[in-house]
Amino acid sequence: MDRENTSHQPAEQRIGEIIKRLHAAHPDAHCELDHQNPFELLVATILSAQCTDVRVNMVTPDLFARFPNAEAMAGADIDELETLIKSTGFFRNKSKNIMGAAQRILTEYDGEVPADMDALLTLPGVARKTANVVMGNAFREATGVVVDTHVKRLSNRLGLTTSDKPEKIEKDLIELVPQ
């Protein structure tokens, strides 16, 4: 979008054109994290913090072969789990969060990843970004906006927000972007 010709227009007037151009530039946009079910997507998204999707996709085949569901993951040996995910960085915290999330899914949600934003936010290692990824991709529910580094940068650059806080950026985008 030519910012010089449209920067004086309010974001509300530009958002339709921005979305149209994003769709044209990226017609096959999809979640890059390989997954077969909501649990795998949840774990992969937790692993993606401070890590590339490419790296996560290298780690998850062995991880999910060894621990294919919440029950298996909840009972994992922490050392084995850490070894499997070490290359994603922050592996100790990620291991604790993944095991904690799996345990909570077992005890509170009958072994199924909850399809509810508030419930997802109760899982260890899950904040709004992860919950929005799971809600949108696993359950096809557009309850929010995934605000990662790229969305943050572009939203500011396009004048859709002036905030640098993900929660505020998400709120600003929810007000602008049709669900």
Catalytic residues: 129, 148
Q: Could you report how far apart the first and last alpha carbons of the chain are, in Å? A: 22
Q: How far apart are CA 135 and CA 113, in angstroms?
A: 10
Residues 41, 160: Cα–Cα separation, whole Å: 29
Q: Which helix (H) or strand (E) holds 62?
A: helix 53-66
User: If you write DSSP's letter for every residue of 68-132 in order, what string do you get?
Assistant: -SHHHHHT--HHHHHHHHGGGS-HHHHHHHHHHHHHHHHHHSTTS--S-HHHHTTSTT--HHHHH
26-34 own/partner pairs: CB under 8 Å, 24+ apart:
31/133, 31/137, 32/57, 33/57, 33/60, 33/133, 34/60, 34/61
